[in-house]
Amino acid sequence: MNISDVFSPFQKPDVKEWQLGAHLRKSLNHGQVVILTCSDYRGVNMERTVDFSMLRNELYQLASIEAQFAFYDLGDLISGKTLQDTHYILQEVLLFLFQRNCKVIVVGGGGDLSYALFSAVNSFKKSVRYAHFCAGLDIHSEQLEQDLDATNFLAKIFDNSSFHVKDFTLLGYQRHLTSPFTLNYLKEVNFDTLRLSEILSASYIVEPRLRFADLVTMDANVLETMREPIAFHPQVNGLNRREICSCMQSIGLGVNLSAVGLFNFDFSSSWQNTSLLAQMIWYLMEGMSIAQTRPRVPNVETYFVMINEENFVFKKDVFTDQWYFGASEYLENCLPCSYQDYLQAKNGSIHPRLLKQ
């Protein structure tokens, strides 16, 4: 496929040598981090044209990350005649990039595009560990009869027999915005959930949930509203600016990460929100850069904890300072955890999440 046929070029902003935009690659090659923007909001019942130039100005005038960090900007995806056409085009673009060992950041568009991202990752990897940030969720069977949109894409993902959801984590949800049926369903199928209040009281619990994710998507409504709404359905409560940037870096550090989608952002709002989104992307890319320097053969320290005459094994990756739970010699077969989980075990208690495996 001639990938340039489905993208509109953008005007690169004037930048200094030390800024991120000065290190933007001139051609698409294997193993790069690839950014693309999308302005199809028909999945949230909105017809609009989005100008991403302000976002690119903000992003590319931030400091460069590492000289070896290779990234490329495809430009703005040209929307199809129908929303279904856009989904198909996006899915084909993603598969094209995955086959070239690229990691992809999709910015803009409605949350329904998460379905296209999941479909592409599933086609490439055959099973998907999926993490999704949003403020509220309502999954119900009636959604399966409706056309795909930003409210029902998760129900359709879970119902699609050709998809293999190996693991799913819902992060940042607010109890008063999430239906009891949804929470019960996620619990019954052994999926993980992290409430906003849990993240605010102990931010270290986020990174282990993201470490093995193949795909991460984010609804802008997970963010706390500032002066101007940043999301199409803004919330008064949510993750603040510092917390979301920390989460973005944790996403980028992921071992298996293939794609990230940032959706339902209102680009008609203030400069402040555009600046925040640019910095979110920067921290995501910084995490990806750090992940690229991870040694192929990790240096692992093993710790044993005895509780009621039962031996539990924790492991620590010395380079990343990341902790794992499990006896396997291979970290990918262990369960990601935190140092605090290890300390809790030393005090005689194992977190129930660690005992699910």
Average pLDDT score over residue span 149-159: 94
Total domains, the chain: 2
Lowest-pLDDT range of 143-152, 171-180, 330-339: 143-152
Answer with the one of 269, 293, 317 that is the final residue of a domain.
293
Share of the chain above pLDDT 70, in %: 99
How confident is residue 14, by pLDDT bands cut at 50, 70 and 90? very high
Residues of the domain holding 336:
300-355
Answer with the one of 252, 276, 293 that is the final residue of a domain.
293
Per this entry, what is the length of the chain?
Answer: 357
Q: Are 313 and 93 in contact (CB under 8 A)?
A: no
pLDDT value of residue 91: 98
pLDDT value of residue 140: 86
Query: What are 285-321's pLDDT values in tens digits?
Result: 999 999 999 898 999 999 999 999 899 999 999 999 9
188 and 331 both lie in a single domain: no
Residue 282 is part of a domain; what is its CATH number?
3.40.800.10
Average pLDDT score over residue span 185-212: 95
208 and 350 both lie in a single domain: no
pLDDT value of residue 357: 62
28 and 98 both lie in a single domain: yes
- pLDDT surpasses 90 at 228: no
Mean pLDDT of the residues in the chain: 94
Token look-up 């969720």 returns: 137
E-assigned strand segments in the chain = 7-8, 33-38, 71-77, 103-107, 128-133, 165-173, 192-195, 215-219, 259-263, 300-307, 310-317, 322-325, 335-337
Task: Please classify residue 216 by burial: count the beta carbons closer than 10 Å to its beta carbon, then call 0-12 exposed, 13-18 middle and 19+ buried.
Answer: buried
Lowest-pLDDT range of 106-110, 128-132, 231-235: 231-235
253-289 CB burial, b ≥16 within 10 A, e <16: bbbebbbbbbbbbbbebeeebbbbbbbbbbbbbbbbb
Question: Residue 319's closest CA among 260, 248, 253, 244?
Answer: 253
Average pLDDT score over residue span 115-139: 97
pLDDT value of residue 275: 95
Query: What are 249-289's pLDDT values in tens digits?
Result: 999 999 999 999 999 998 876 889 999 999 999 999 999 99
333 and 191 both lie in a single domain: no
